[in-house]
Amino acid sequence: MNLEKWLHPTAGKRFIFFLLADILLSLFTLYSAYLLRFNFHIPPKYLDHFWLIYTVLTALKIAAMAWRGQYRIVWRFFGLGDVRRVLEAHIVAYGLFGIVLYFFRSDFLPFPRSVFIIDFFLSFLLLSGLRMAKRVLMESGIRGGYKPTLIVGTGGGGPAVIKAVTQAESAYKPEAIVAWKDPGLEGSRIENLRIYAPDRLEELIGRYRIHTVIVAEELEAKELNRLIERLENLGVREIKKIRLLGEGKERLEEIPIEELLARRPKDLDREAIGAFLQGKRILITGAGGSIGSEICRQCLAYGAKRLILVENSEYNLYRISEELEKDRIVPRLVSVLDRERLEEVFKAEHPDVVIHAAAFKHVPLCELNPDTAIENNILGAMNVIDLSIRYGVEKVVNISSDKAVRPTNVMGATKRIIELYAQNVPNDRTEIVSVRFGNVLGSSGSVVPKFKAQIEAGGPVTVTHPEMTRYFMLIPEACQLVLQAAAMAQGGELFILDMGEPVKIVDLARKMIRLYGKEGEVDIVYTGLRPGEKLYEELLINDAECKTRYESIYVAGRSNYPIEKLRADIRHLLEAKDKRVLLKEIVPEYTPSQRCI
């Protein structure tokens, strides 16, 4: 058996320790009370009922101590409030014992009343003293290893943080609270911890040699970034947040990098999205993927009548189907390349809106498998668009990518071709729109889960190039803006989402390492650009974009391409052996990477 694991404190071990200690100490105090009463020479007749008295009194005492929560306390935070509760437990226990003595006097006599009083004080002093002694030992450093902790925030999470970090398994010792949003609370207390104003942050970190800061306040991304940067400059090694799980439960966890990069759209028009989706039958391809699954959730939240989930991955389809309301979804295990089966779905379900999110998106894999990527991304999208037109779908939304701008890889070139097809295919009733955006955080192909796994494994974190930059957006934000753009579309538009400022990937890696408290422990290694990768991504082909009524959404200038020629070129592309040459004929701005394999 692992000795360290056996000795590690838990709630169960703590309960057993205090219970056994109270039983033994009660025996000691009662016998000591007899000794003191009789000047250390106890007449034998007074010991005839000793064990009966001890058993009844100890049982009452343990019940009262349990009632006052003294077997659930964390001893290193035992305080005056707990001393009061031990006293209350003794008053109740000895009061009940007095009642027992009154009604069953003959069973306990002879029993000197002075022993009763002496034992009360001895027991109270020793049982509370045991608990206080452990705290004194902890604070004097006899058993160290606990991290001095500062709590930032007095919102709903403040008391929850204190509760979470004072669990037996916790390695944190809270020293003070900083009222980040309400400096007027300075001088007050929460759970006996003093509250300070934000301008005392540096002083507190130095005074208590703070190792860890726990954020107990909901902060905007910019404010959270500023706080973290300030803490890092002050030498704080670990920064965590409290996550409230509901039902009185909470958990400490690292601050997700997504929170630091999150940007809430300033002009999200939920009313317009709701009007667009309310009561509609919506077919979503790639419904089990990162983007597709979030679109499913939001469509249901905005009142869609029914979702037709088209997905070629059995596992992904199962996972999203289990999550959503069964009576509002129709799962269909179909590939967008299987036109015949896909047409059966259109014929049976008659969707009002189609959102096409199915695609191969991993750049290096698409470079290694160009034929498969071209067929899936181009032919699959054409099948979806053509069938939507044939079956009178009101609106088709094609999910595109910033990699379609001056592409250097097969994936980006395929996305650009479908943008051209969506803008030029003839239709009478169906409005077809494309929405282009950058990387989404936390998706299956995102660097964030990759970096997280590498950090947890001890490193190194691999970055392709020190100057690599990317645009990032959270999946829910991106999907909401996609739906908002679709709601305002009239057909033929290419919308571009405002992705904010580009982020250097190496800065993202460094920030994640710091958030995990691993700075100096995890290295960053540069591996070189992969096939088809660009150092910088763009969202616009030229400056011919126009603002819409929403700050977060732009519309690009229309690109004309005779549809019959485009169809013929695509047909030749699918049949060609050297597909990269034909890709460049269709997309002149496509520049294949020199690292293509």
Q: Give a yes or no: residue 318 inside a domain.
A: yes
Are 546 and 571 in the same domain? yes
Instruction: Please identify which of the residues 403, 415, 511, 518 carries the catalytic annotation.
Output: 403
Q: What is the distance between the alpha carbons of residues 119 and 36, in angstroms, rounded to a whole number?
A: 10
379-396 confidence digits (pLDDT tens): 999 999 999 999 999 999
Distance CA 496, CA 17 (A): 64
Q: Is 69 within a domain?
A: yes
- Which has the minimum average pLDDT: 137-141, 174-178, 503-507, 568-572? 137-141
63-79 per-position pLDDT tens digit? 998 888 777 665 555 66
CA 145 to chain centre: 27
Q: Which two tokens stand for residue 348?
A: 């049976």
Asked if residue 244 belongs to a domain, the reply is: yes
Active site residue 504: no
End residue of a domain, out of 97, 114, 139: 139
Question: Does 594 map to a domain?
Answer: no
Mean pLDDT, the chain, integer: 83
- 54 forms beta bridges with none
Task: Please indicate, yes or no, whether residues 172 and 121 belong to a single structural domain of this protein.
Answer: no
Q: Are residues 125 and 47 part of one domain?
A: yes
By residue range, what is the domain housing residue 87? 9-139
Nearest to 275 by CA among 438, 98, 395: 395
Is the pLDDT at 244 greater than 60, yes or no?
Answer: no
**Which of 139, 170, 192 is at the close of a domain?**
139
Is residue 12 scored above 80 in pLDDT?
no
| Gap between the Cα atoms of 222 and 259, Å rounded | 9
* Domain end call among 139, 158, 187: 139
pLDDT at residue 443 tops 50 = yes
In a domain, 572, yes or no: yes
Residue 396 is predicted with a pLDDT of: 96
Kindly state whether residues 354 and 495 are assigned to the same domain.
yes
In this structure, the answer to whether residues 496 and 361 fall within a common structural domain is yes
Residues 370 and 343 occupy one common structural domain: yes
How many domains is the chain built from? 3
| pTM of this prediction exceeds 0.75 | no
Q: Is residue 510 part of a domain?
A: no
Give the range with max mean pLDDT: 412-421, 488-497, 556-565: 412-421
Phi, psi of 41 (to 5 degrees): -135, 90
**Distance separating alpha carbons of residues 17 and 31, to the nearest angstrom:** 21
Q: Which amino acid, residue 86?
A: V
Assess whether 233 and 332 both reside in one domain: no
* pLDDT above 80 for 157: no
Residue 72 is assigned to a structural domain of this protein: yes
Same domain flag for 192 and 316:
no
CATH number (domain holding residue 227): 3.40.50.720
Domain co-membership, 241 together with 331: no
One domain, residues 290 and 418:
yes
Each residue's pLDDT tens digit, 520-546 = 778 899 988 777 666 766 655 445 567
Would residue 195 count as lying in a domain? yes
Distance between CA 118 and CA 96 in Å, rounded?
Answer: 17
Q: Are residues 122 and 30 in the same domain?
A: yes
Q: Are residues 216 and 316 in the same domain?
A: no
